[in-house]
C-alpha cells in the first residue's frame, strides 16, 4: 500500500546506561569491531530520543566522531550522547556508532548498534455488542464502527478480513468502505468476524466483531450510501429514505454511531445532520421495526473528491478489492491514538431496543 504521512504520538524517552566499570582496559587505538557480538544495542523510540550515558568514571572522550558518523546524533558532551530521528525509515537498518570512552588513564572504543523504533501499531477496538444478521443476508459493517486509531495511516488505512468463526457461519471480505459478512442460509447462532487494520509500514492489528445469525420472517432493509459534503464540510441526510420495512411496520430510528472525525446528530424522524472538516468520513445508523432490526451507513465524500468513489448513491454490495489476507486501502484516515476512549459503544441504544422486543 502507498506510503502515508500524518501527525504522530510521542513515546517515552529511553536511556541506556553502559556499565563499563568491569570492561577490559584497551589501548587508545583499540576499537571494538562493528560486527562485535558485544556491541550495545540501542533503539531510538519513534519521534523520541535515546541516550548513550557511560557509567562513572568513564566519560565520552570525543564527540566529533559520533557527530560525524550519523545525523541521529543530535547532542554530545562528556556525559552523554543524545540520539533522535525526525521520522521512521523501515529501510534504515542498523547504524554502528563507535564511541571513544576514557577514565582519564585508559581509553577504549565501544561500538553501539543503533536502530529506529517503529511507530505504534494501529489499534482496533470495536464495540463488543453482538450485531444481529439474518441467515442468508449481508451485514455491511462501516469502517467507522471498527474503533480504529492509527499513527501512520494518513493515506488511508488498510482493511483486511481475516476469517469467520465458525467457518460454517458464512464468509467475509473487505471493501474500501466496509467489512462485509454474508451469513450462510443454513446457519444460525453466534459467530465472530475477524479483521485487521494495516498501516503504511504493513504493521497489522487485529480485532473481532461478534454477530448473531437468526432466522428472519420478513427482513428489514437499510441501505449503505455515499453522500456528498457541501463546501463547509456538512451534510443533511434523510435516513428514512434509506430504510424499507417490507412488513409495513413503523420504523424506529434507534440512533447513529460516531463518525471518525466530524459530529453527527440523528433525529427520531430519521434526519441526520453531519458537521465536519471536509475530510472523507462515515457513520452508521440503526433501525428496528416489527421485531426485526437492521443497520445502514453513510459514507461522506467531498464534492470535489478525486477518490475512486462515487459522490452519491448506494455503496456496492458485491465483493470489491481484496479477499482473504490481502488488505484493501480505504479512503479513511483514522484518528491518532488518544488516552480518552469512549466508554459507550455505538450500538448500545440499539441493543436496548432489541432487548425490549425480545429478539
Q: Which CATH number fits the domain that encloses residue 211?
A: 2.60.40.10
Q: Does residue 135 share a domain with residue 111? A: no
Q: Tell me if 332 sits within 8 A of 260, measured CB to CB.
A: yes
User: Is residue 3, in this structure, part of any structural domain at all?
Assistant: no
Q: Per the structure block, which three cell numbers stand in for 49?
A: 530520543
State the pLDDT at residue 256.
Answer: 93
User: Is residue 1, in this structure, part of any structural domain at all?
Assistant: no
List, in sequence order, every residue forming a beta bridge with 211; answer none if it has no partner. Answer: 131, 191
Residue 199: closest CA among 250, 258, 271, 148: 148
User: Is residue 6, in this structure, part of any structural domain at all?
Assistant: no
Of 79, 96, 116, the last residue of a domain is: 116
User: Is residue 128, in this structure, part of any structural domain at all?
Assistant: yes
Q: Does residue 201 share a domain with residue 77? A: no
Write the pLDDT tens digit of every residue in 217-236: 777 888 899 999 999 999 99
Q: To which residue does cell 473528491 refer?
A: 305
Write the pLDDT tens digit of every residue in 259-280: 999 999 999 989 999 999 889 9
Helix, strand, coil % over all residues of the chain, rounded to 5: 10, 45, 50
Q: Does residue 172 share a domain with residue 49? A: no
Q: To which residue does cell 441526510 refer?
A: 237
- B/e letters for 179-198, b = 16+ CB within 10 Å, e = fewer, are bbbbbbeebeeebbbbbbbb
State the pLDDT at residue 246.
Answer: 67
Of 84, 100, 116, the last residue of a domain is: 116
User: Is residue 290, in this structure, part of any structural domain at all?
Assistant: yes
Domain count, the chain: 2
Q: Tell me if 176 sits within 8 A of 188, measured CB to CB.
A: no
Compute the distance between CA of residue 68 and CA of residue 48 in angstroms, rounded to an integer.
21
Contact partners, residue 305, CB within 8 Å, separation at least 6: 280, 311
List, in sequence order, every residue forming a beta bridge with 351; answer none if it has no partner. Answer: none
Domain that holds residue 335: 123-357
Q: Does residue 190 share a domain with residue 84? A: no
User: Is residue 178, in this structure, part of any structural domain at all?
Assistant: yes
Write the pLDDT tens digit of every residue in 184-205: 999 999 999 999 999 999 999 9
Q: Per the structure block, which three cell numbers stand in for 72?
A: 541521529
Of 63, 84, 116, the last residue of a domain is: 116
Q: Which CATH number fits the domain that encloses residue 54?
A: 2.60.40
Question: What is the longest distance spanned by two Cα atoms in the chain?
Answer: 93
Q: Per the structure block, which three cell numbers stand in for 234?
A: 456538512
pLDDT value at 36 more than 90 = no
Enter the pTM of the model: 0.76
Amino acid at each position: 500500500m502507498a506510503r502515508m504521512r500524518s501527525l504522530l504520538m510521542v513515546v517515552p524517552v529511553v536511556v541506556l546506561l553502559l556499565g563499563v566499570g568491569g570492561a577490559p582496559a584497551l589501548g587508545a587505538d583499540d576499537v571494538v569491531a562493528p560486527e562485535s557480538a558485544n556491541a550495545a544495542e540501542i533503539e531510538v523510540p519513534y519521534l523520541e530520543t535515546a541516550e548513550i550515558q557511560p557509567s562513572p568514571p568513564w566519560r565520552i572522550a570525543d564527540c566529533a566522531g559520533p557527530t560525524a558518523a550519523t545525523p541521529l546524533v543530535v547532542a554530545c558532551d562528556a556525559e552523554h550522547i543524545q540520539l533522535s530521528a525526525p521520522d521512521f525509515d523501515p529501510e534504515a537498518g542498523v547504524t554502528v556508532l563507535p564511541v571513544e570512552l576514557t577514565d582519564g588513564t585508559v581509553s577504549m572504543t565501544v561500538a553501539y548498534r543503533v536502530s529506529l523504533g517503529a511507530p505504534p501499531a494501529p489499534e482496533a477496538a470495536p464495540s463488543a455488542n453482538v450485531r444481529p444478521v439474518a441467515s442468508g443476508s449481508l451485514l455491511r459493517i462501516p469502517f467507522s464502527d471498527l474503533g480504529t486509531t492509527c499513527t501512520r495511516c494518513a493515506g488511508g488505512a488498510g482493511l483486511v478480513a481475516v476469517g469467520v468463526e465458525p467457518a460454517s457461519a458464512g464468509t467475509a471480505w473487505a471493501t474500501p468502505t466496509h467489512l462485509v459478512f454474508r451469513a450462510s442460509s443454513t446457519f444460525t447462532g453466534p459467530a465472530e468476524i475477524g479483521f485487521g487494520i494495516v498501516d503504511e509500514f504493513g504493521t497489522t492489528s487485529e480485532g473481532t466483531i461478534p454477530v448473531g445469525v437468526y432466522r428472519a420472517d420478513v427482513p428489514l432493509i437499510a441501505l449503505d450510501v455515499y453522500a456528498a459534503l457541501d463546501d463547509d464540510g456538512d451534510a443533511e441526510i434523510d435516513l428514512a429514505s434509506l430504510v424499507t420495512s417490507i412488513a409495513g411496520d413503523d420504523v424506529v430510528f434507534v440512533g447513529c454511531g460516531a463518525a471518525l472525525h466530524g459530529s453527527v446528530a440523528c433525529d427520531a424522524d430519521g434526519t441526520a445532520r453531519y458537521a465536519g472538516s471536509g475530510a472523507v468520513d462515515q457513520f452508521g445508523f440503526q433501525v428496528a421495526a416489527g421485531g426485526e432490526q437492521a443497520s445502514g451507513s453513510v459514507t461522506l465524500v467531498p464534492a470535489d473528491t478525486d477518490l475512486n468513489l462515487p459522490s452519491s448513491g448506494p455503496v456496492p454490495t458485491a465483493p470489491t478489492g481484496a479477499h482473504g489476507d490481502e488488505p484493501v486501502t480505504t479512503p479513511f484516515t483514522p484518528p491518532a491514538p488518544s488516552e480518552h476512549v469512549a466508554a459507550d459503544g455505538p450500538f448500545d441504544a440499539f441493543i436496548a431496543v432489541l432487548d425490549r422486543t425480545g429478539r
